Structure 1
Amino acid sequence: MTSESPALHEPTVSELPDLLHALASWQHDGLPVQLHPADLGWQWRFGAEQVARSMRVWSIDSTPAAIAFVDADVPEGEAAVARMAMAPDFAVDERLARALVHDLPAPQRIGLPGGISIIEARFGDAFRAELTAQGWIADEPWTPLRRALSREVEPCGLRIETVEPGKPDARVEVETAAFENSTFTVERWHTMAQGPAYANARCLVGYDENDAAVAAITVWSAGPGRPGVIEPMGVHRDHRGRGHGRAITVAGAAALREMGASSALVATPASNEAGVATYVSAGFEAGTPVPDFVRPTN
């Protein structure tokens, strides 16, 4: 029996390593895909202070019970989104569920103008039930995908190089050529790589037969025996349509297996049919699409 009500706070930078450890410990096969150390690790390219500002933590008896990862720099007029993770021990805790649903939309509680308008809540029966009871409705569905890593991963067909410290140029080149609005830079790669989450991550670059950098991926482990995440994955715009997305995804799965991960996870909007097809071609199994929750307008 817990003695305290859930307490909400924005963490300090000094708390982040412990929160990463807690978040990693919540990752288990068989559970829905939820917020993962990968999400914090990728955000780290903007610096530790930005990561801390993007997090809200609910603790019970001084122990983290739930974490929201929010966009703390939402443009005026746009909906703020919270990506959620919850300790498995609190999945059916109704008191925590009520606190989350009370705090997230409240500007004075969450510390964001307008509060949270969209919630990614794929785990926590009590939390999801409380959202529904309070009138939150289904928003965009996301397809979770998983590849088990108990067996050796097949060759991918590309020459794969792991990005070494001080040599991220090809990784950055592919990222910016794959995503039109990318703000990734060499400096930001170094900032990310110096963060504690990257100690359990790798960046991979795939090269074709002409030694051109054609695809790249970053993979994030939560520790041996736990699910890892593949994110982001991109193919250079000049080399699309040749199966490189499948190939670099297979390489990412192989890297996670080498790191001891039990499975590789990713989620993508269900409307991204080409993305889902790429992951399925790389040996991932698509699960049932799960919608986000959107706050009703009165």
Structure 2
Amino acid sequence: MAMVLGKPEADGLSEAVGALREWQCDGAPTQLHPGDLGWFWRFGAQATAAAVRTWSRDGRILAVGLLDEPRLLRLTIAPDARRDEEPAQQLLDDLTEPERGVLPAGRVSVEAPTGALLQDLLLEHGWHADEPWTPLSRDLTRPVKDPGLRIEVTGPGPGQVPARTAVQRAAFDRSTFTDEHWHAMAAGSPYADARCLVGYDARDNAVAAVTVWSAGPGRPGLLEPMGVHREHRGHGHGRAITVAAAAVLRELGSSSAIVCTPSANVGAVATYRSAGFRQLPATRDLYRDA
């Protein structure tokens, strides 16, 4: 049976999330995580559904893509199908022909697992490697030490959500994260296995925040996003909140903690490494100019 390109409705997102959970495993190439859909869910279930694409064969999902931006598709493929010629060719056609409704004409980018046949085909068809990203991972089989920062888990109670969203906006110049966005994200199915953490200094200032996403026991968990308040940088708070994130993922049963950042962001790479994360080989998106 031929591959079928799908665009799920909001009430059908659980199948895509389930497939992403199943495909997470230690040692696999950096790939789309259920937490990536969970973080996008801050824009609401309808917007998330509109940004998701699935590719299925015989009723089984073999690939899931997220239009993180209108011209950027973050895509992963079932491990046993990454070198399969039929899905790779179907994906190539769907990604390169704008009328298929995946990517528009003009410059576009695709994130796909390293080693997937799709990457080879895109390069053969004139796509190019973009700027490098650095994935990092921390093994969670051993206990995680105290981060040295007071940590609170964000819940819907009074004052907790505003603290989480305020740190996010103060950590990222272009962030539009609001309380409404947090509640929309928390209502999504991936957030059932997620936690938002806020770190406080000795003066009770909210100085750093992170959201962690479990993919289930025995699978890698994701940090997305992590940030330090611009007025409280240079005090080790990034390292501390990252260590706290690893500890919470371990409590949730994750086998490891993973994160990915632009390689050019040397400060972020250094922060994650100082928190016990191991730097992995760089990955690159592929782009097409026209």
Residue 180 (structure 1) aligns with: 173
1:8 alignment partner AA: L
Contact 1:106 1:115 in 2 (8 A): no
Q: Which residue of 1 aligns with 2:18?
A: 21
- Aligned positions of 1:2-81 closer than 5 A: 4-71=1-68, 74=70, 80-81=71-72
Following superposition, the deviation at residue 296 of structure 1 comes to 4.5
Aligned partner letter, 1:43: F
Tell me how far apart the structure 1 counterparts of residues 174 and 9 of structure 2 sit (CA, whole Å).
30
Query: Residue deviations 1:148-196, cap 9 Å, x none?
Result: 0000001111001111223311101111111111111111111111111
Normalised by the length of structure 2, the TM-score is: 0.96
Aligned equivalent of 1:218: 211
In the alignment, structure 1 residue 139 sits paired with structure 2 residue 130:
yes
In structure 2, the residue matched to 1:87 is 78
Distance in structure 2 (CA, Å) of the matches to 1:273 and 1:62? 43
- Identity among equivalent positions (%) equals 53
CA distance in structure 2 between the aligned counterparts of 1:229 and 1:163, rounded to whole angstroms: 17
What secondary structure is seen at the aligned counterpart in 2 of 1:294? Answer: strand
1:222-261 deviation digits (Å, cap 9, x = unpaired): 0000000001001111100111000000000000000000
Report the equivalent of 2:95: 104
**Which one-letter code corresponds to 1:59 in the other structure?**
S
Q: Deviations along 1:109-131, whole A, 9 cap, x unmatched? A: 02553277111112453122212
- What residue number does 1:293 align with? 286
Larger deviation: 6-15 or 118-127?
118-127
Match among 126, 140, 151 for residue 142 of structure 2:
151
Q: Structure 2: how far apart are the matches of 1:27 and 1:65?
A: 14
TM-score, normalised to structure 1, is: 0.93
- The CA deviation string for residues 26-79 of structure 1, in whole angstroms up to 9 with x for no partner, is 10101011000111101111100000110111101111000111146x4xxxxx
- Runs of 4+ that moved beyond 2 A: 110-113, 122-125
Number of residue pairs matched by the alignment? 288
Q: Name 2:266's counterpart in structure 1.
A: 273
Contact 2:42 / 2:184 at 8 angstroms: preserved in 1? yes
Q: Where does the alignment leave 5 or more consecutive residues of structure 1 unmatched?
A: 75-79
Among candidates 219, 238, 242, match of residue 231 of structure 2: 238
Question: Could you tell me whether the CA contact under 8 Å between 2:73 and 2:103 is conserved in 1?
Answer: no
The 2-side partners of 1:140 and 1:112 are apart by 20
Unmatched tracts of structure 2, length 5 or more: none
Q: Report what 1:77 is aligned to.
A: none
Paired with 1:95 and 1:213, the residues of 2 have a C-alpha distance of: 51
Cα distance, 1:290 vs structure 2: 1.2
Q: CA deviation at 1:143?
A: 0.6
